[in-house]
């Protein structure tokens, strides 16, 4: 067994998707470190600090396949420094050109910028998945915008809505996550190149030009000043993923709840060979929903850790970096896995309309008491109508009597209704409000 779910062969498939794993694995991290070293050499060549042929050699050799990973791991333990072993391994590979590797920079510049490159790859995958989920939610909203289901508040039957309305709410929320991600790009994809304390003193008069060319090589924005001790750019993306994960958890939790036999309105699609319980053959457990909720919790735990990196001492404080190197891969891997599972859940969800229709009638029409009350209000006043219907509803609940019978048997109410009007008022399709309109609004936008 591994020490975490990510290196445990029995568990890890539930906690991270392969594509995101590769973005944050050791191999890609080392490649990003090499990429920033090659970009620095290219930038310095443009101002004459490094010969052009030397920069070309450094770029050519900056391939993770040229590095012995086992040596790097052993040296990291010996030196207690995460980046130095790479420099020691990479410099001799470049021959004489190796003397120009890491010229005029500091380790945190290289590691911070490489981290942003990794985050950019993770961001692009998350955004792609989020847009896919958005499309699936819109599809379900369109397909089921006329399918009536009982809306619930405080865990109780409230008023009817449509299944499409429920999905449209989730779609609208998901769209806002896409907008949040897109709005943070300019702040997030910013390189770091500022030297020991942020003043970039080591490169003298060449500093600004090298910095400019370095960021251009990597297609990153330039900060107005160092962010060595300002980790808000990274915490912002983590926070957005935490908000997003809460939506995914909400979707998972709703399916988890509505798959209970007492509801049996939604159900996860169960493929051949799936097992619900080791002891109870009849069970169809909502494992995907459960995993989504769990992953959402793990994302939010990681986000809480992110905030611990915001308060730093002086001009550099590596204590926050140690936390960042741990939480960033986790928040992205958990979020991506949650997205992958939610896409699967939504696209294959079984909607059991027979049970939905049955559940609408559980309270034998009581959920339409508001409609009767509103009609009565114009004749006898709102509060009087409310009190009258409240007493009637309580009596109906106590005796298990249909609301229709209670209304027809009440002379005070029937002074203002015909029997046909009562029957029409107690039909779910006549009290959906603007459910379909709002679904169309979400689809149109």
Run of H or E including 58:
helix 52-61
Run of H or E including 382:
helix 382-399
3-state secondary structure of 351: strand
For residues 274 and 35, give the distance between their C-alpha atoms in angstroms, rounded to a whole number.
44
What CATH architecture applies to the domain 5-274+283-357?
A: Up-down Bundle (1.20)
| pTM for the whole structure | 0.91
* Domain definitions of the chain by residue range: 5-274+283-357, 363-440
HSE of 336, CA atoms in CB hemisphere, 13 A: 26
Residue 95: Cβ-neighbour burial (10 angstroms; 0-12, 13-18, 19+):
exposed
Nearest to 254 by CA among 319, 190, 342: 342
Run of H or E including 267:
strand 266-267
pLDDT at res. 142:
97
Pick the CATH number of 363-440 from 3.30.450.20, 1.10.40.30, 3.40.50.970, 3.90.1150.10: 1.10.40.30
Q: Please state, in angstroms and as integers, the Cα–Cα distance from residue 275 to each residue in 10, 95, 222, 283, 311, following that order.
A: 16, 58, 53, 8, 48
Q: Please state, in angstroms and as integers, the Cα–Cα distance from residue 175 to each residue in 36, 199, 246, 346, following that order.
A: 34, 40, 14, 16
- pLDDT, averaged per 10 consecutive residues of the chain (445 residues), comes to 69 82 95 98 97 97 93 86 90 95 93 97 98 98 96 93 98 98 97 92 92 98 94 97 98 96 90 56 80 97 96 91 94 97 97 94 86 86 90 87 87 86 86 93 93
């Amino acid at each position: 067994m591994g020490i975490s779910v990510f290196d445990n062969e029995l568990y890890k498939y539930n906690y991270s998707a392969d594509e995101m794993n590769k973005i944050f694995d050791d191999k890609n991290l080392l490649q990003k470190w090499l990429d920033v070293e090659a970009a620095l050499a290219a930038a310095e060549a443009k101002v004459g600090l490094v010969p052009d042929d030397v920069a070309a050699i450094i770029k050519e050799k900056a391939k993770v396949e040229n590095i012995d990973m086992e040596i790097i791991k052993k040296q990291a333990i010996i030196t207690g420094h995460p980046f130095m072993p790479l420099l020691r391994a990479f410099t001799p590979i470049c021959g004489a050109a190796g003397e120009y590797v890491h010229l005029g920079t500091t380790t945190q510049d290289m590691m911070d910028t490489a981290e942003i490159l990794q985050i950019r790859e993770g961001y692009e995958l998350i955004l792609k998945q989020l847009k896919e989920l958005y499309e699936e939610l819109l599809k379900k909203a369109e397909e089921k915008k006329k399918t009536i289901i009982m809306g619930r508040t405080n865990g109780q039957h409230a008023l009817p809505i449509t299944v499409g309305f429920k999905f449209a709410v989730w779609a609208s929320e998901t769209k806002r996550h896409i907008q949040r991600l897109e709005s943070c790009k300019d702040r997030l994809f910013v390189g770091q190149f500022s030297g020991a304390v942020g003043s970039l003193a080591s490169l003298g008069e060449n500093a600004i030009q090298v910095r400019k060319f370095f960021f251009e090589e990597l297609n990153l924005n330039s900060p107005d000043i160092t962010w060595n001790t300002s980790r808000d750019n990274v915490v912002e993306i983590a926070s957005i993923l935490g908000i997003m994960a809460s939506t995914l958890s909400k979707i998972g939790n709703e399916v988890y709840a509505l798959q209970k036999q007492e509801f049996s309105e939604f159900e996860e699609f169960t493929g051949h060979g799936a097992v619900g319980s080791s002891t109870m053959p009849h069970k169809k457990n909502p494992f995907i929903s459960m995993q989504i909720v769990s992953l959402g919790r793990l994302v939010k735990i990681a986000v809480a850790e992110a905030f611990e990196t915001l308060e730093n001492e002086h001009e550099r404080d590596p204590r926050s970096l140690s936390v960042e190197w741990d939480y960033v891969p986790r928040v992205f891997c958990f979020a991506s896995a949650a997205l992958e599972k939610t896409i699967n859940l939504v696209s294959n969800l079984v909607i059991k309309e027979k049970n939905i229709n049955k559940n609408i009638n559980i309270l034998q029409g009581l959920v339409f008491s508001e409609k009767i009350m509103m009609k009565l209000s114009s004749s006898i006043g709102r509060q009087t109508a409310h009190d009258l219907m409240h007493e009637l509803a309580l009596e109906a609940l106590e005796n298990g009597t249909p609301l229709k019978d209670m209304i027809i048997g009440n002379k005070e109410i029937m002074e203002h209704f015909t029997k046909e009007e009562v029957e029409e008022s107690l039909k779910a399709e006549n009290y959906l409000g603007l459910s379909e309109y709002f679904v169309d609004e979400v689809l149109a936008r």
